[in-house]
Structure 1
Amino acid sequence: MASGGWRWLRGLCTAGQPLFQGRALLVTNTLGCGVLMVAGDGARQSWEIRARPGQKFDPRRSASMFAVGCTMGPFLHYWYLWLDHLLPASGLRSLPNILRKVLVDQLVASPLLGVWYFLGLGCLEGQTLDQSCQELRDKFWEFYKADWCVWPAAQLVNFLFVPPQFRVTYINGLTLGWDTYLSYLKYRVNTVDRSGTQGTPQKPQM
């Protein structure tokens, strides 16, 4: 039975190989980012529905998350290709270059993706640019500090052990919890401030 399971797994891997080759790899990375963003938002919305009586699942919100996730896929696809060209590295012997790659990723890609996440969703959901920029100012450092707690170690493993064609998929495999956090950060309901006005983040649509 175990032998049959391994044969099934090898057959699945063989069947999936074309998805990680040539032009198909870009499509795989793009859709993978979008699908995992939706999954994270779905997990967050499920929690909100249980915690907030009367709230219903908002498919438009998940559609916006999917669209923004899909735009991140091509960026990550070409970003890793560029990093590999800029700082070629293979195995522990190249650890100094790998550490440089992790640092560049944290200083360049992470903040860019954070900015795009808030501005892109704001645009899709009808916020003005001023509103989106205010939300970004309110939440960016919270996002970026959490990013430093999660991704340097994950990217160290990525650059050390994961073949280049699987790097975005590896990141996508780790992002379900992270995307749930991003959904929380974007759609959480703030308490009313002392002036009696609601903060920039808006309550999730019903």
Structure 2
Amino acid sequence: YNRSYNKRPIITLCITNGILGALSDGLAQAITYRDKHTKQLPERLRQHEDQWPPQPAYDGMRTSRFALYNVCVAPFVGKWYMVLDKYFPMPGVGKPGRDVVALKRMVTDQVVFAPSSLAMFFTTMGLIESGNWQGVREKFRDAYSSALIANYSVWPVVQLINFKIMPLQYRLPFVSSLGILWNAYLSWINNASK
């Protein structure tokens, strides 16, 4: 990984993120939203349960869409981490201020990047799946706020650890690895909002 990252960082991040995205969607498809997990969906999605299509055994196109999305966003996330490093340089190991810098990176990430990346996710998936802006509006109405609230309950702690401990080349794989469950949640709520 390090050798590949040093030669071609963006391509390495894209491939890694695509594979982890495919794993996430596979996990999401293993979770059936018609059983005990249904109560965890937002109310707006549960009220139309009678209109949900039957859960297929496995949807390869859905996994492909999710993996492709993860490949496409990897350069943006990788560059975002580089921007955070530039504007909030981390003091050397053992020097004071590391906690403050990690906190500044995390707050900036959660205020700027988290809402915009979720908006990009639901816009992209809404357009790909429905082919029109009405599908995007429905995604935002039904799923965006619930996903953003869930984001704020999970990611600040993860990103604080990420920004304080992980070297730049491992940040995206770290969050994508931990994000397998998060992406499974996004895939699950996105699919339920159709």
Q: Which TM-score applies when normalising by structure 2?
A: 0.82
- Which runs of at least 4 in structure 1 moved beyond 4 Å after TM superposition? 49-54
Q: Does 1:21 align with 2:21?
A: no
Quote the residue 1:69 is aligned against. 70
Q: Is the alpha carbon distance of 1:174 and 1:64 closer, same or farther for their aligned partners in structure 2, counting shifts above 3 Å?
A: same
Q: Quick one: distance in 2 between partners of 1:171 and 1:159?
A: 10
Quote the residue 2:177 is aligned against. 173
Query: Identity of paired residues, percent?
Result: 25
Contact 2:127 / 2:135 at 8 angstroms: preserved in 1? no
Q: How many residues align?
A: 174
Q: Does 1:46 align with 2:30?
A: yes
Quote the residue 1:34 is aligned against. 18
The residue identity in structure 2 corresponding to 1:45 is Q
Q: Quick one: distance in 2 between partners of 1:155 and 1:54?
A: 34
Contact 1:64 / 1:125 at 8 angstroms: preserved in 2? no
Q: Deviations over 1:153-200 (max 9, x none)?
A: 111111111111111111111111111111111112xxxxxxxxxxxx
Quote the residue 2:56 is aligned against. 55
Contact 2:84 / 2:105 at 8 angstroms: preserved in 1? yes
Q: Deviations over 1:131-170 (max 9, x none)?
A: 2123213211110111111111111111111111111111
Q: Quick one: distance in 2 between partners of 1:53 and 1:120?
A: 24
Secondary structure of 1:89's counterpart equals: coil
Contact 1:20 / 1:166 at 8 angstroms: preserved in 2? no
Aligned Cα RMSD in Å? 2.0
Residue number among 134, 140, 162 corresponding to 1:136 in the alignment: 140
Quote the residue 1:197 is aligned against. none
Could you tell me which runs of 5 or more consecutive residues in structure 1 were left unpaired when the two chains were aligned.
1-15, 189-200
Task: Give the deviation of 1:53 after TM superposition.
Answer: 6.8
Q: Is the alpha carbon distance of 1:163 and 1:131 closer, same or farther for their aligned partners in structure 2, counting shifts above 3 Å?
A: same
Q: Quick one: distance in 1 between partners of 2:158 and 2:76?
A: 18
Quote the residue 2:112 is aligned against. 108
Quote the residue 2:124 is aligned against. 120
Q: Does 1:80 align with 2:65?
A: no
Could you tell me which runs of 5 or more consecutive residues in structure 2 were left unpaired when the two chains were aligned.
36-52
Residue number among 86, 99, 102 corresponding to 1:98 in the alignment: 102
Contact 1:37 / 1:176 at 8 angstroms: preserved in 2? yes
Task: Give the deviation of 1:127 after TM superposition.
Answer: 3.5
Q: Quick one: distance in 1 between partners of 2:55 and 2:102?
A: 49
